[in-house]
Amino acid sequence: MIILGKQRIGILGMGTVATGFCKTYFMNKSIIDSKMDPSLEITKVLVKDIDKKRDVDLPHSIYVDDFDDFNLEEFEIIIELIGGVNPAFEYIKKSLESGCNVITANKELMAKRGSELLEIAKNNNVLIRYEASVGGGIPLISTINDAMVSNEIIRMMGILNGTTNYILTKMTKEKIGFETALTQAKELGFAEADPTADVDGFDASYKLAILSKDAFGVIPKPEEILKQGIRKISIEDIEYGLELGYKIKLLAIGEKSNEHVELSVEPTLIPIDHPVASVNNEYNALFIEGNSVGEIMLYGKGAGAMPTGSAVLSDAIDIIKKKKDYMGHVKAENIIVKNIGLSAYYVRMEVLDKPGVLGKIAVAFGDYGISLDSVVQRARGGRVAPLVFITHEIERAKLNDALNTIENKEYVTEIQSIIKVVK
């Protein structure tokens, strides 16, 4: 049945984000409807179990458990919130081909097959929006595609995963180890029972892939993003970092040069007085550098029912009110993804506690053209002692070469940590 005078919306899935979307809409309905003519109307929702009790005030009759029950011609917008690549891809494809605009919060899908979906949307003269797929309620996608349209974006640096930021914040403030912090994060609902997607960097790398497409016009293959999680971050590294004036954050970094784009997600030391270093707990932030505007940063909750649901609702209002695509950045042809990793690095090693060792290692670094910015040496009165270096800028491969040599010296017991440093 076509309801005249309404912008009909169908929702696929009724989990956390869909609930947040509905709650935000009902909470702000009067102010939103006053701006919309015709107003929104949620007319069908796809769920697995029609009879499950839900925390949203929608009539039972609008729930269906089969996507084929959606008569797609009836909908102005289909909102996909089931997650995962399949069957979400097929549902969205069919929706776009039937003339529906689509909104999704599905980062994995947008990272892996987003460019196909954008192409299908374009060919069918409809829009696909995915603000909620990166940074929850923080308007990252619209800022990059619209507000920063006058700039070439040359660098992005972000905390894009709330779980790992929560864990690292806990470790830093309470001087507890990774496993303890992870357990606490699970208890408080900040980490999943299986935390792999978060702590091993998959989630952040999907988000970085989406941002790379929008900001640089470069669509990476998943394996092209250098990806390292936070499992190996030790309390020692956090403490040495603080002593040297840095915090450790899981940073997603994208940098564009004329020839290539670097894309990495890895634990990184960042100066304590840098705005990104003050992003704590489950908060996310993205630092964006444009060639004219300079550095701007956006900060907020990168997850959660209400923030993410509110981003979906802003997308819906934008589609209905503007019916215009993002202005976007130009697709970068012939620019490849390559991670040279030219950066300063923090290196922690264990060495024999004997005179002259520090000097020998400094010389060994020098042999590879690596000069040192800071050193922390601390005698422990035992056989071995820790030694911590921060290098000047060097390509990661050269650092690895140097460390391979250094690791084989008889006075070096173990190379324990290598962490990127952003100045």
Residues labelled as active-site residues? 207
346 belongs to the binding site for a copy of itself (CB under 8 A): no
User: Binding a copy of itself by CB under 8 A: which of 13, 19, 23, 266?
Assistant: 23
At closest approach, how far in Å is the CB of 272 from a copy of itself? 9
| Structure tokens, 99 | 């003339």
Is residue 9 near a copy of itself by the rule CB under 8 A? no
Alpha carbon distance 156, 379 (integer Å):
40
| Residue with smaller CB distance to a copy of itself, 169 or 391 | 169
Nearer to a copy of itself, 294 or 356 (CB): 294
Q: Which of 13, 20, 114, 201 binds a copy of itself (CB under 8 A)?
A: 20
Give the DSSP letter of residue 74. G
How many residues bind a copy of itself (CB under 8 A)? The answer is 59
The residue (of 172 and 228) whose beta carbon lies closer to a copy of itself is 172
**What's the Cα-to-Cα distance from 37 to each of 20, 40, 42, 317, rounded to whole Å?**
23, 8, 15, 11
- Please say which residue, 42 or 394, places its beta carbon nearer to a copy of itself: 42
Stretch that binds a copy of itself, among 47-55, 230-238, 286-294, 401-409 (CB under 8 A): 286-294
> What distance in Å separates the CA atoms of residue 278 and residue 150, rounded to the nearest whole number?
29
- Residue from 71, 196, 257, 278 in contact with a copy of itself (CB under 8 A): 278
- Pick from 202, 220, 200, 223: which is nearest to 211 by CA? 220
127 binds a copy of itself (CB under 8 A): no
Shortest CB 295 distance to a copy of itself, Å:
6
Stretch that binds a copy of itself, among 101-109, 141-149, 243-251, 260-268 (CB under 8 A): 141-149
Q: What are phi and psi of 93, to 5 degrees?
A: -55, -50
207 binds a copy of itself (CB under 8 A): no
> Which residue lies nearer to a copy of itself by CB, 294 or 381?
294
Q: Out of 114, 162, 220, 290, name the contact with a copy of itself by CB under 8 A.
A: 290
CB 244 within 8 A of CB 180: no
Residue 330 is a binding residue for a copy of itself (CB under 8 A):
yes
User: Which among 231-239, 258-266, 296-304, 372-380 is the span making contact with a copy of itself, rule CB under 8 A?
Assistant: 296-304
Using CB under 8 A as the binding rule, the residues of this chain from 151 to 180 that contact a copy of itself are 151-152
**Judged by CB under 8 A, which stretch of 61-69, 143-151, 178-186, 224-232 contacts a copy of itself?**
143-151
The least distance separating a copy of itself from the CB of residue 6, rounded to whole angstroms, comes to 18
* Span interacting with a copy of itself, options 18-26, 252-260, 335-343, 386-394, rule CB under 8 A: 18-26
Q: Does 395 bind a copy of itself (CB under 8 A)?
A: no
Q: Which of 6, 58, 242, 299 binds a copy of itself (CB under 8 A)?
A: 299
Quick note: the x/- pattern for a copy of itself over 309-328, rule CB under 8 A, is xxx-xx-xxx--xx-x--xx
- Taking the least distance from each CB to a copy of itself, the nearer of 112 and 274 is 274
- State the residues that interact with a copy of itself by CB under 8 A: 20, 23-25, 27-28, 31-32, 34-35, 131, 137-139, 142-143, 146-152, 273, 275, 277-280, 290-301, 304, 306-307, 309-311, 313-314, 316-318, 321-322, 324, 327-330
